[in-house]
Amino acid sequence: MNETSEHTDLNRREFLTRSAATAGVALAPGVMLYSVAQARPADEPVSSAVRWGLLIDSNKCASGCSDCVSACERENGWGTGSTDETHSDATQKAQWIRKVEVKNTETGHAFTLPMMCQHCENPPCADVCPTGASFRRDDGIVLVDKHICIGCRYCMMACPYKARSFVHETLTDQKPYAPRGKGTVEACTLCVHRVDAGDSPACVEACTAENHNAMLFGDLNDPESPIAKTVATYATTQIRADLNLNPGVRYQGI
Amino acid sequence: MTCFANLKRSLTVLATVALLGASAPGGAADSGIPMPSFMEPQGTQCVEDTDFMRRNHMEVILDHRDKTMHEGIRTKKHSLKECINCHAADYQGDEKAREQHFCVSCHQYTAAQPDCFQCHSLKPEQPGAAR
């Protein structure tokens, strides 16, 4: 009985998402109204009742595929998604998300995974930030307030995931919803602008659109959400769990 | 070094505005004082009175900025993105059009530093974009 009602709910959710997407294509001026209507109201602050999380299944993540990375670049206007950063070399350029290939040299077992800001519950970047620019939003998204960032890069040293980048040059080609600027540190925002509008991050959308389905985004605090159900059912791993940071990004098959 | 460069640029712009002011219609007030020239906004009514916005727009968007950044409040009123959507056209890399940018032209005229646009996009959102 319960199972049936859960399925009904899921279908309803999917239906709403899809119908909103269809309406978005058909009605350009009405898009905002539709997509905001099902998300948290725009005038309501985020709350800790929600904990956004991302589950990445390394078994489904294909070696050589970087659809998530290019989707992030296009969405947030860094890397190949931007005409800026022409003077920086590869080690200096912004990198919000990267694909990592891992191989156990003893057994030969190899797998690949996307690595980005892990959106820790206890973020070391925020701990060391001298100005309060690095912070964790109530819903678990770790961000840099670039208005306050002085570019000291302590957070880059503190992050065990090497997830943050420093912008070395003047930029001109930013996206309206993803401001970036010289002298500040930046990282994956979990596509906070999309999440606030009720959508998934661009990487997740790209992975799903290509039928890889290796990334699952949702509210870890909502027991009915697919991500909460999956982490409750299957063994999942946090990278460097020994640090007790409780990242919001979890992995399967690693 | 940068300060001198900025000062030099500001002076150049002021001189250019002053030169244009003599001939360009709308570029100079009747009093002969050179004024910045910019494109007209697309909307008919600003979210606040013009006089209020002239003096206080920076405070208004500063307040909204913190709410958006830290609390995820994304109301449209007092949002910088909405200022741009109404006040600016996509100048498509055309430097002359960029100088007509509502915000940039006045910020250059008054030598406002830093302005928002070292990080924020000067271009309006693409029509049809879902956010």
Residue B63 belongs to domain spanning: 43-87
Question: Nearest residue of A to residue B130 by CA position?
Answer: A31
Set of chain B residues whose Cβ sits within 8 Å of the Cβ of A171:
118-119
Quick check: A118 pLDDT over 70?
yes
**Do B5 and B22 share a domain, yes or no?**
yes
**Do B81 and B52 share a domain, yes or no?**
yes
Q: What are the structure tokens assigned to B56, written together? A: 């206080």
**Do A83 and A108 share a domain, yes or no?**
yes
Set of chain A residues whose Cβ sits within 8 Å of the Cβ of B69:
143, 145, 147
**Do A189 and A151 share a domain, yes or no?**
yes
**Do A19 and A88 share a domain, yes or no?**
no
Is residue B63 in some structural domain?
Answer: yes
Is residue B47 in some structural domain?
Answer: yes
**Do A247 and A173 share a domain, yes or no?**
yes
- Phi-psi group of A9: left, alpha or beta (phi > 0 → left; psi -120 to 50 → alpha; rest → beta): alpha
- Cβ-defined contact of A43 to B120 (cutoff 8 Å): no
- Cβ-defined contact of A176 to B121 (cutoff 8 Å): yes
pLDDT in tens, A42-54: 999 999 999 999 9
Give the Cα separation of A196 and B73 in Å (integer).
9
**Do B49 and B83 share a domain, yes or no?**
yes
Question: What percentage of chain B reaches a pLDDT higher than 90?
Answer: 29
Question: What rounded mean pLDDT belongs to chain A?
Answer: 88
CATH number of the CATH domain containing A64: 3.30.70.20
Element housing A203 (H / E): helix A202-209
Q: Which of A133-137, A190-194, B118-122 has the lowest mean pLDDT?
A: B118-122
Total tally of structural domains belonging to chain B: 2
Quick check: A147 pLDDT over 80?
yes
- Cβ-defined contact of B128 to A182 (cutoff 8 Å): no
Output DSSP code: residue A12: H
φ, ψ of residue B106 to 5 degrees: the values are -75, -35
More confident residue, A120 or B18: A120
Residues of B with CB under 8 A from a CB of A: 65, 67, 69-76, 81, 84, 118-121, 123-125, 127-128, 130-131
Quote helix, strand, coil % in chain A, to nearest 5: 35, 15, 50
Set of chain B residues whose Cβ sits within 8 Å of the Cβ of A205:
none
**Do A14 and A110 share a domain, yes or no?**
no
Q: Which of B73, B119, B131 sits opposite A177 (nearest CB)?
A: B131
pLDDT in tens, B31-88: 788 888 777 777 788 899 989 999 999 999 999 999 999 999 999 999 999 999 888 8
Question: What rounded mean pLDDT belongs to chain B?
Answer: 76
Give the Cα separation of A254 and A60 in Å (integer).
11
**Do A52 and A9 share a domain, yes or no?**
no
Set of chain B residues whose Cβ sits within 8 Å of the Cβ of A194:
131
**Do A238 and A130 share a domain, yes or no?**
yes
**Do A90 and A167 share a domain, yes or no?**
yes
Do the beta carbons of residue A113 and residue B31 sit within 8 Å? no
**Do A178 and A70 share a domain, yes or no?**
yes
Give the pLDDT score at B98: 73
**Do B60 and B81 share a domain, yes or no?**
yes
Give the Cα separation of B122 and B86 in Å (integer).
11
Set of chain B residues whose Cβ sits within 8 Å of the Cβ of A196:
72, 74
Quick check: A219 pLDDT over 70?
yes
Total tally of structural domains belonging to chain A: 2
**Do A224 and A174 share a domain, yes or no?**
yes
Residue A25 belongs to domain spanning: 1-38
**Do A13 and A86 share a domain, yes or no?**
no
Is residue B126 in some structural domain?
Answer: no
Is residue B17 in some structural domain?
Answer: yes
pTM of the model: 0.79
Question: What percentage of chain A reaches a pLDDT higher than 90?
Answer: 82
Give the pLDDT score at B42: 78
Confidence bin at B129 (pLDDT 50/70/90): low
CA A27, chain centre distance (Å): 28
Set of chain A residues whose Cβ sits within 8 Å of the Cβ of B114:
none
**Do A20 and A55 share a domain, yes or no?**
no
- Cβ-defined contact of B123 to A176 (cutoff 8 Å): yes
- Cβ-defined contact of B67 to A196 (cutoff 8 Å): no
Q: ipTM value, please give it.
A: 0.78
Q: What are the structure tokens assigned to A230, written together? A: 């999956």
Is residue B123 in some structural domain?
Answer: no
Do the beta carbons of residue B87 and residue B103 sit within 8 Å? yes
